[in-house]
Structure 1
Amino acid sequence: MDHEPDATDGNTDGHNDPISREVPTLPSVAQPTGGSSTTMDTFNQMMAAVTHLIQHSQEQPQTSSRREPVVDKYLKIFQDMRPPLFTRVGEPVDVENWLLRVEKILEGMQCPDERRVTLATFALDGEVERWWRGQSLEKFRGRPDSQILWEDFVKVFRDWFIPPSVRSQMQERFLRLVQGERTVMQYESEFTTLSRYASPFITTTEDKCQKFLAGLRDAIRQPLLPFTFDDYAVLVEKARRLEIDFQAVQKMRDFQQKRKGFERTRSFQTHSGGSSVKKTIIDLALFPNHN
């Protein structure tokens, strides 16, 4: 008996071929006979349309299965940068530090202007978040955050949490600021913090340098007076180096004094025997600068 060919003839592994399973053979359709060329064209067009529909229906589930959820990439980047939460009213310095930190993050991630306020308000929580919702309705008539300019948000934020009365206090503290017992870098840190409120008194870099120089301790300020500074960073660095030199000299003096005291004690022990400790203490108390 002759063997009747089937789909597996010539390919014994056809049952393992995924394509043969997913794309079935279209049924054969008899072409119309005895028709005109117009009829044949219409028939061919219909068959092409049916073939396209079948193939599209087979591919559609595969396409939808690869679809990924939409993620706000700017919000994800902002969260990854760990912005500090602003939850309650604190010191003016805390408010300024929060604004500076958020601005730094927004600049670093190259955030579009229309997303700045949206992301910044995402870092508000508690009573501050409730405050912003009220301000959004009152000041901006309920406009979406994406339609609020960053400059307008900062102005409303500062006007509320750092009112004019507080700014005046900060200005007075700035005008009275001197180094005192602080290190140069500690003095510079407070100087920079308070200078944010002293824009009426510091209009140029030279003004800023003169005010910083005037507040330094005499021992550091005097060597710097003959020079003119128009670069604030250069002035701070020179003051810091002078401080390091003075500290090194002071350590050397302390070491020399301790060494002299030790030598005086050893000399006294040599001449006076074992009862020298008490006399040494008295000697150092009465003659602290004796060579």
Structure 2
Amino acid sequence: MRPEHFEGTTDPMIAEKWIYKMEKVFEGIRCPEDCRISLAVTVMDGMADDWWTEHRRLFFSGRSIDSITWEEFLKAFREKYVPLLARDKFRKELTHLVQRDMTVTEYEAKFTALAKFSPALVPNEEEKCHLFCTGLRHSIRAAVVSFQHVVFSKLVETAVVVEQDQLEGQARREAIGKRKAMTFKTYQGPASKRSSSNGASTFASTSGSSGRPRCQICGNLHGGVCRVGNRTCFNCGEVGHLYKVCPRKMTAKGEESVPTSIASASGGRDGIAGVLGWECNTATRFGERGAQPRVYALTHQEAQESPDVIAGMLSLNDSPVVVLFDSGASHSFISKSIIQKLQLETCPLDEVLHVALPTGITIEVKLFVKVKIKIKDQEFWAELIVVPIIEFDVILGINWLSDNQVIINC
């Protein structure tokens, strides 16, 4: 570990950075207190060496270099290279520092650099967290303030996770907006005659060759109530599953017994989310169970367009997690990865579940956890079944939503 040479500068940041690096060297080689100045002055060259020689002659005359403390050296060094005017400027800049268009990582780096010049503003971790949180972008600050972090590294980690979650959510909304815009243009084609009233264009309720009216919601030709976007099966008309996993359709094809209770877990980095279900035979603490649970395929697009799911950041046992609220899920689940990350204690289920994944692999589900979930200032308990979720850490289904009288308002 070689110390960096210093020749003097007019930039206070460079001077402070040299001090920081020297102190890292002292710690790395376990340099005794009375030897620190001797090592520091050996790497001071040019104008910096001239300054120290003259300053020592004027202010430390008759004292050996070993008797001069590091604090005395720092005070003299900063008076020369980090003057009071510059320190006042940095203090004001730190006080008024806000994130704006910076990333959380960029904001943290600038905050930390300025904090070195203003120890009075950040005398401890709690004050440092408070000042840092004050300058965060409003949407991020609103999400992290409920965690009440007093450890700076934890606060920064949470802010980074929230920022990433918001960016992904924005990207999903923009993608949905583009798809809806393209669909709207498609409906404006030759088959869709439009009428205008007071300058506003609307779809006319014209009929096609089949004699059925054109729907004002989806633009297709059909009668009755439109089922687009209300999580209703297009085959049987029942709520809680999609056409591709309709029990009546699958029974008609001669397949094995089908699930009557559906639990959806939307999301997935590979564009797929699981839908878990089982026949209702034997009652357990987690609902009805009997036949082998199966995981069906649900496209990411279907999950994004669903009106009764919402994702966000919450606190689970005082740690930030990505949560999906899904009123179409009959039960609540937690990811194996977050169990390991947070070192949560698991409990055995009353009965082992054998879950078939879309890949054809069958896994055993044996465990659940009891955790504390915090939403703003309110705390809730939840019993979550451990399954291999990919994109979300926790899925809160209808059992948890109904127990706590939660209504999803998208």
Shift of 1:153: 1.1
Matching of residue 87 in structure 1 with residue 22 in structure 2: no
Equivalent residues of 2:144, 2:162 under 8 A apart: no
Q: Structure 2: which amino acid aligns with 1:213?
A: C
Which residue pairs with 1:235 in the alignment? 155
1:141 and 1:243, CA in 2 relative to 1: closer, same or farther beyond 3 A? Answer: same
How much does 1:193 deviate?
1.6
Q: Counterparts of 2:42 and 2:58 in 1: how far apart (Å)?
A: 19
8 Å Cα contact 1:83-1:101 kept in structure 2 = yes
Higher alpha-carbon Rg: 1
For the pair 1:153 / 2:70, whether they are aligned, the reply is no
| 5+ residue gaps, structure 2 | 192-218, 220-410
1:163 aligns with 2:83: yes
Indicate whether 1:126 and 2:43 are aligned. no
Identity %: 33
User: Which structure is higher in strand share?
Assistant: 2
Alpha-carbon distance between aligned partners in 2 of 1:181 and 1:111, rounded to the nearest angstrom: 42
- Contact 1:171–1:197 (Cα < 8 Å) also in 2: yes
Match status 1:222 vs 2:138 = no
Other-structure match for 1:196: 116
Which has the larger share of helix? 1
The amino acid that maps onto 1:172 is: K
Distance, in Å, in 2 between the alignment partners of 1:108 and 1:225 is 36
Give, as a single letter, the amino acid of the residue that structure 2 aligns with 1:117: I
Partner of 2:260: none
- The one-letter code matched in structure 2 to 1:238 is T
Give, as a single letter, the amino acid of the residue that structure 2 aligns with 1:124.
M
| Matched residue type, 1:177 | L
Q: CA deviation at 1:108?
A: 0.5
Give the letter aligned to residue 158 of structure 2.
Answer: K
Q: Which residue does the alignment assign to 2:318?
A: none
Give 3-state SS (helix, strand or coil) of 1:86's partner: coil
TM-score (norm 2): 0.43
Q: Do the aligned residues in 2 keep the contact of 1:137 with 1:143 (CA within 8 Å)?
A: no
Partner Cα separation in structure 2 for residue 237 and residue 113 of structure 1 = 34
How many pairs are equivalent?
A: 192
Q: CA deviation at 1:173?
A: 0.8
Q: Deviations over 1:175-213 (max 9, x none)?
A: 111111111111111111212233333333222211111
Aligned to 1:246: 166
AA of the residue aligned to 1:239: A
**Which structure 1 residue ranges, 4+ long, deviate > 6 Å from structure 2?**
none
